[in-house]
Structure 1
Amino acid sequence: MTTIRVLEANVSGNKHSMFNASFLKMLSIMPHRGELVFYSEETHKQCIQSFLEKDGDNTIEKINFSKINIVDKGRFYLPFKILFEIWNVSKIFFKFRKDDYLLILTSISQASNFAIKIIKMFFPNTKMIFVIHGELEFLKKHAEQPFMLKMWGWFLKYSFKVKTDNKTFYLVLGDVIKNNMKRYNIVDLNKVLTIDHPCLYNGKTKSIDNSSSVLKIGAIGVASEQKKSQFIFDIGDKIIEKNKSDIQVEIIGKILPNVYKYLRPGVIYSKENIMLDQQTFDNKIADLDFSLFFYDNTYYELCASGAFFDALNHEIPMLGLKNDFFEYYFQKYGSMGYLFNTVDELITFLMSYNKSNDNKYNSFIDNMRMAKKKLAIDNLVISFEAKLLQNELLGK
């Protein structure tokens, strides 16, 4: 049977660790696979193993872990990062060029993506999947887009123009993203596989407490202008203006520099501004009444939201702006919170909200529990393996 080699050449430490752990768990239970090997930097491996140990089911024993070296920090790290990514992929190409295996790149820089596709031309028998996260958004032009993102968009655009063989595919996280790709003529959609964002739903259940006098809402994950995170401070302003001591709003995650200029009182956030450890992150999310999202289609038309699945995992109903991604899942599994056309509508709703009078809140949690069952890894693996077999990326 076909060996699956999964390479994380782009990140270290805790970055992408929940996705990669969930993805590996899914691959580990595929009936029609051979050996499963995961290549990553050492601290990333430790994060993955920690997630899988907590999940149980002896998944770690089904995976062979292999250490690689990457560069992702330092003053002038970027050229070295790209070179190391290309080197780590090329080593696998050369070493296993005579073997039957599927290489899955869980994330890769855009410049490396371009170079790797050129190199891949010399290894036409290698089966390969590029997992696409939020980088498709780089292809869209935004007036406020920084130079670096424009440059990554250029590399990504031309990497898609590199002709690939019939054994090279892309994987996007959701049918809604593949459908939206039609608007941009990015790539032959026959080369695009889809899967819902895998998540290790770990049995967390929301304990409903209507006795608390404080409504706790929070934005989950890294705060950035791309996510429109600055609007959370408009809520803080209104809380101060209306003297709403019964509403507490918090950023649960690191704040990127492009949000610094918006920082104001009324919102709780970490002054140390460091990545939270997983336990603290989970505890803060579990304490929320609502999760808060300002994503719109400006940046979330071609991008899945990991924070959406964090909220789903913890069964925290959502307050957010309407966008294709959220509306797709709300329509598929039922409403899991309130969606609004504008930030002003969201703020107006919050200022008059009374949880004890909300007869929809419990139904949101019920819908989230149903969605978690339908999106469980045991279900995702069935459709994903079928797609791999159909495209001859796995051999029975």
Structure 2
Amino acid sequence: MKENKIILIDLNMTGFGHFEFNKNVINHISKNRSMIFFGESKLVDILFKNCIYKNNIKFNKFFFPDANSKIKLLFREILAIIYITLIFISLSSRKKTIEFYFLSVIPLTHFYVKLINVFFSYKVTIFLHGELEAFKKQTNLPSFKYYYSIACKAIKIFNNYFKYIVLGESIFKNLNKIINTENISFIDHPYSYDEIFHIEKTNKVISFGSVGKAIIGEKNSHLIFKLADFIRNNNVSNIDNSKFTIVGTLSKDLHSYANDYVDFKEQSGMLSDVEFETRILTLDFILFFYNSDSYKYTASGAFFDCIKYEIPFIAIKNDFFNYYQEKYGPIGYLEDDYESIEKRILLILNASEEDKLNEIKVFKNNLKTMKASLKKHTNNFFENIK
């Protein structure tokens, strides 16, 4: 066992937040070394159940409220600043070198960490997520744009002892156009790539679906209902050869868009792991309705569900999807806009059975290759953490 010097902290997420990312980073780092993890109580409980090398990890819980109001945002910042001050001071007496990895951190606390570390000189690495959206001129977080821009400003100052990691080369390249990326590196979003047991199809129905919680906004989840209605009314000769599904739950504001052509679960909270996997494995294509400016600075977790389950996608072109399609070959259909998605699905449904199977086979072979490559690259990245 290597000397215990690795400290992982999440000063943002609660409960299942960033579950796949946190779980996989912890499992990779704790594989051959001991480490300490600090996080919100429910998040720690969930991660503890899903960590492989529990004996190598010392878990520490703290109270952290959800960010569902501006007052709570401020309260979270105050608590996070107190927590990080206490953690930094408590470890300062140790003779061994301490290295911190922030899996996620809220903006003001991010800025504060940069300031307080002037006195401690710890080596600090911070993973960057949705806060990078503040670099966009138009963002899906308009009311919090200035709040998140604090983190963007923090990235640029006091960079001795600090490193950053973004979740994708396309994100790194976009950042490189607007800021100095000398202390920034990239890694593909860490994900679980366990062996998948595919369900053998017993009919010729082509199943399309969205993955994750269906919401209005940048995700444009309401369009799956519009799409299913369009296909139902424009595919008369093959009216029963398609199915539309939401692998996840619906936000309340989506119920007014619902129709009988899309299958979805009426429940709050997340689907169980078994139910999620059962439903996603029925899909032939995963649908994305994000616009072309999406995923410019942030990664898509649902995109990696495509990779894990070897299911091709149909999506509107964006930098993130384009990058992987160019690198690994066709792994789905990239379209110019929503109307092109409608046309693409009609083409798929009206193609011969042989053409459908051959095209899907090409996609799946490339997805298998991509999955093996991502798994190898991720392993190599974390093995280099000493």
Matches within 5 A, 1:46-61: 46-52=45-51, 58-61=52-55
Q: Which runs of structure 2 are paired with 1:324-335 in the superposition (5 Å)?
A: 324-335=319-330
Indicate whether 1:6 and 2:8 are aligned: yes
TM-score scaled to structure 1, two decimals?
0.86
Comparing 105-114 with 317-326, greater Cα deviation is found at 105-114
Give the letter for the 2:62 counterpart.
I
Displacement of 1:236 after TM fit?
2.2
- State the match for 1:28 in structure 2: 30
The answer for the alignment partner of 1:55 in structure 2 is none
Distance 2:256 2:137 in 1: 23
What residue identity is the alignment partner of 2:40?
E
- Tell me, in whole angstroms, the C-alpha distance in 1 between the residues paired with 2:152 and 2:232: 45
Distance in structure 2 (CA, Å) of the matches to 1:117 and 1:38: 20
Tell me if the contact between 2:315 and 2:335 (Cα under 8 Å) persists in the aligned partners: yes
| Structural RMSD (CA) | 2.5
Residue 199 of structure 1, aligned match among 191, 201, 204: 191
The CA deviation string for residues 239-262 of structure 1, in whole angstroms up to 9 with x for no partner, is: 332353332222222444665665
The correspondence of residues 1-396 of structure 1 with structure 2, limited to 5 A, is 1=3, 3-29=5-31, 34-52=33-51, 58-72=52-66, 76-99=71-94, 100-123=97-120, 125-142=121-138, 145-161=140-156, 163-185=157-179, 188-209=180-201, 211-224=202-215, 225-242=217-234, 244-256=239-251, 262-354=257-349, 356=353, 357-358=355-356, 359-376=358-375, 379-386=377-384, 394=386
Between the aligned partners of 2:25 and 2:41, the Cα distance in structure 1 is: 18
Shift of 1:71: 1.4
The answer (yes or no) to whether the contact 2:6–2:35 under 8 Å persists in 1 is yes
For the residue of structure 1 that corresponds to 2:155, the secondary structure is helix
Letter in 2 for 1:155: I
Q: CA deviation at 1:361?
A: 0.7
Q: How far did 1:351 drift?
A: 2.0
Task: Kindly provide the CA deviation profile for residues 173-194 of structure 1, in whole angstroms up to 9, marking residues without a partner as x.
Answer: 1111101112222xx2111021
TM-score normalised per structure 2: 0.88
> Given that residues 231 and 342 in structure 2 are in contact (C-alpha distance below 8 angstroms), is that contact kept between their aligned partners in structure 1?
no
Higher normalized contact order (CA 8 Å, seq sep 6+, divided by chain length)? 1
The CA deviation string for residues 198-227 of structure 1, in whole angstroms up to 9 with x for no partner, is 112111143452x42322111111334212
Q: 1-side partners of 2:35 and 2:73: how far apart?
A: 30
Q: What amino acid is the match of 1:236?
A: A
Three-state SS of the structure 2 residue aligned to 1:8 is: strand
CA offsets 1:146-197 (integer angstroms, 9 cap, x no match)? 5433233332333234x22321111101111101112222xx2111021111
Deviation at 1:273, TM superposition (A): 4.1
Taking structure 1 as reference, are residues 48 and 364 closer, same or farther at Cα in structure 2, changes over 3 Å only?
A: same
Q: Deviation of residue 18 (structure 1)?
A: 1.3
Count residues with an aligned counterpart: 373
Q: Secondary structure at the residue paired with 1:325? A: helix
Q: Which runs of 5+ in 1 are unaligned?
A: 53-57, 389-393
Which range moves more in the overlay, 69-78 or 127-136? 69-78
Unaligned runs of 5+ in 2: none
How far the C-alpha of 1:305 sits from its partner, in A, is 0.8
Shift, 1:51, TM fit? 3.0
Identity over aligned pairs, percent: 27
**1:372–1:205 distance in 2 versus 1, CA, 3 Å:** farther
CA distance in 1, matches of 2:117, 2:6: 17
Contact 2:40 / 2:62 at 8 angstroms: preserved in 1?
Answer: yes
* Distance change (3 Å), C-alpha of 1:258 and 1:91: farther
Preserved contact between residue 126 and residue 163 of structure 2 (Cα < 8 Å):
yes
- For residues 247 and 152 of structure 1, do their structure 2 counterparts lie closer, same or farther at Cα, with a shift above 3 Å needed? farther
Contact 1:130 1:169 in 2 (8 A): yes
SS in 2 for 1:320: strand
Counterpart for residue 391 of structure 1:
none
Does the Cα contact within 8 Å between 2:209 and 2:283 map onto a contact in 1?
A: yes
In the TM superposition, what is the alpha-carbon distance from 1:96 to its structure 2 partner?
Answer: 0.9
Determine the C-alpha separation between the residues in 1 that align with 2:150 and 2:252. 24
Deviation at 1:145, TM superposition (A): 4.0
2:204 alignment partner AA: S
Give 2:167's aligned amino acid: L
AA aligned opposite 1:381: N
Following superposition, the deviation at residue 106 of structure 1 comes to: 0.7
Q: 1:79 to 1:4 in 2, by over 3 A?
A: same
- The structure-2 alpha-carbon separation of the partners of 1:264 and 1:146, relative to structure 1 and needing over 3 Å to count, comes to farther
Inter-partner Cα distance in structure 2 for 1:333 and 1:49: 34
Letter in 2 for 1:365: K
8 Å Cα contact 1:285-1:311 kept in structure 2: no
